Chains A and B, each alone.
Chain A
Amino acid sequence: MAEGDARADRYALADTLPVDIESLDPGMNVLVSGPPMSGKRQLVFDLLAPEAVPADPIVVMTTDDPASRIRAPFEDRNVRFDPTTFRVVDATGAPGDDDPSIHRVSSPADLTGMGVAFTQAVDQMGTPDRLRLGFVSISTLLQYVDAERAFSFLHVLSRRTSAAGYLGVYSIDPTTHEDRFVNVVTSIFDAAIEIREEEGERELRVRGLSDVPPEWTAFPY
């Protein structure tokens, strides 16, 4: 994690979270964890673009939904999809037209290919000093590679963005994996944002940030 940066260098979150976190340190990697249909993907996107005019360049790596379905929710919120500020690494293998803002990889099993596509996306954006990387999702990645390979990939990718001072936000559905895997993979991250549903009410808590108590807080849809 980057050390002692001025507050202005932090990644602003606006009022994305119902707890008292206004910003995150450069170089941080955050895990967003929740069951299916709990809105974790939306939360990942909100953390990448808390406002309609994103403060930072964005790269979304996707292993499940193709680029078009990543793009739509951003466009719904009037975020401009422009290759100088917003790119998608689409590892779903979905076909598509040539588009400078989309980097296609044949399969989530091609870890090297995803790495190459990420470096191309960053290079072609002019190697910015700041960037927010979204990764959806660890759960799908696990359907293509074994736990050890997935862990290694996530470790290397997260350390690469951390060293560059970028913010990384990754999603996982803990209900589809063994607890042991979830515990082990969580250790890669600086903080985990957990979503759960209790009696029809959605709640959220943040673990790993020293100034935020890990208490369940209402997080209405």
Chain B
Amino acid sequence: MTASEGGTVLIVDDDREVVRTYRRYLEDTHTIREAYDGEDAIETLDDDVDVVLLDRLMPGASGGEVLDRIREQEYDVRVAMVTAVDPDFDIVDMGFDDYVTKPTTRSELRQTVEELLSLDRHATDVREYHSLLVKAAALHEGKATYELDENPAYAELKARISDLEATLESEAESLTDDSRFVATLRAIDTTPREETDG
């Protein structure tokens, strides 16, 4: 997450009125970027962008084509398709993380963006959980239990691990939603490699 607490959202639509409306809905909590066609979107996208709201039908490159380019370039970004009709195809198969039906309300749009950002958080939480377990396992090696119990750093580590466990378990129920499950795996898949410490 970058630029602001609420992350950076790229709004892509050839209808400038739509872009203006979405900006108004989101700009108090998120950093906004705009693009008015597919080429523009690809140029505007960089590693700072967390969420793309991508119009399905645009002159030139369609939303689907832009999505393919985004996935090929392995950006760590969540993408929602914006469409005038409910999609009659599987958005999971296409590689979208979610979709928004036009016209959308302020609260709907904000909720979609929030959910997409929470996928990243879930992926980050699992990653942090792993790294804490690795640290705990390292402390365990060659140490007796009583030595660990006297170690305040170990107690602190245990507390953070159980906090994270509780958070992850509370989010598990949402994984039965297919698109959320797949989008979470995609967030893991697209994590930049240099951030790993495994």
Enumerate chain A interface residues (CB-CB to B < 8 A).
110-112, 114-116, 119, 123, 146-149, 151-153, 155-157, 159-160, 162-164, 179-180, 183-184, 187
List 30 A-B pairs, Cβ < 8 Å: A114-B185, A115-B181, A115-B182, A119-B181, A146-B196, A146-B198, A147-B130, A147-B198, A148-B196, A149-B189, A149-B191, A149-B198, A152-B123, A152-B188, A155-B126, A155-B129, A156-B122, A156-B126, A156-B184, A156-B188, A157-B185, A159-B172, A159-B175, A160-B172, A160-B176, A162-B172, A163-B175, A163-B176, A180-B137, A180-B141
B1 located at the interface, meaning its Cβ lies under 8 Å from any Cβ of chain A in the complex: no
Residues of chain B lying within 8 A (CB to CB) of residue A153: 185, 188
CA distance A159 to B129 in the complex (A): 14
Residues of chain A lying within 8 A (CB to CB) of residue B197: 148
CA distance A162 to B193 in the complex (A): 29
CA distance A111 to B185 in the complex (A): 6
B112 located at the interface, meaning its Cβ lies under 8 Å from any Cβ of chain A in the complex: no
CA distance A72 to B179 in the complex (A): 33
CA distance A35 to B180 in the complex (A): 36
Interface size in chain B (residues, C-beta < 8 A): 34
Is there an interface contact between A119 and B182, defined as CB atoms closer than 8 Å? yes
B147 located at the interface, meaning its Cβ lies under 8 Å from any Cβ of chain A in the complex: no
- In the complex, which of the residues B126, B185, B191 contacts A115, with contact meaning CB atoms closer than 8 Å? B185
Residues of chain A lying within 8 A (CB to CB) of residue B141: 179-180
Residues of chain A lying within 8 A (CB to CB) of residue B173: 163
Q: How distant is B23 from chain A, measured CB to nearest CB, in Å?
A: 30
Name the residue of chain A whose CB is nearest to the CB of B138.
A180
Q: How distant is A162 from chain B, measured CB to nearest CB, in Å?
A: 6
Q: How distant is B148 from chain A, measured CB to nearest CB, in Å?
A: 14
Query: Known contacts A149-B189, A156-B181, A184-B130; can you find 8 more A-B pairs with CB under 8 A?
Result: A115-B186, A146-B196, A147-B130, A149-B196, A152-B188, A155-B130, A159-B168, A183-B140
- In the complex, which of the residues B169, B175, B189, B196 contacts A160, with contact meaning CB atoms closer than 8 Å? B175
CA distance A114 to B127 in the complex (A): 19
CA distance A148 to B195 in the complex (A): 10
Is there an interface contact between A160 and B133, defined as CB atoms closer than 8 Å? no
Is there an interface contact between B134 and A156, defined as CB atoms closer than 8 Å? no
Name the residue of chain A whose CB is nearest to the CB of B174.
A163
Name the residue of chain B whose CB is nearest to the CB of A160.
B175
CA distance A184 to B130 in the complex (A): 7
Q: How distant is A175 from chain B, measured CB to nearest CB, in Å?
A: 18
Residues of chain B lying within 8 A (CB to CB) of residue A159: 168-169, 172, 175
CA distance A160 to B92 in the complex (A): 16
Is there an interface contact between B127 and A148, defined as CB atoms closer than 8 Å? yes
Residues of chain B lying within 8 A (CB to CB) of residue A160: 172, 175-176, 181
Q: How distant is A74 from chain B, measured CB to nearest CB, in Å?
A: 26
Output the residue of B123, B130, B140 with the most chain A CB within 10 A: B130
Residues of chain B lying within 8 A (CB to CB) of residue A179: 141
CA distance A142 to B27 in the complex (A): 42
B 145-184 to A, binary, CB cutoff 8 A, 1 in contact else 0: 0000000000000000000000011001101101001101
Top 6 nearest A-B pairs (CB, nearest first) are: A159-B172, A115-B185, A148-B198, A160-B175, A147-B198, A119-B178
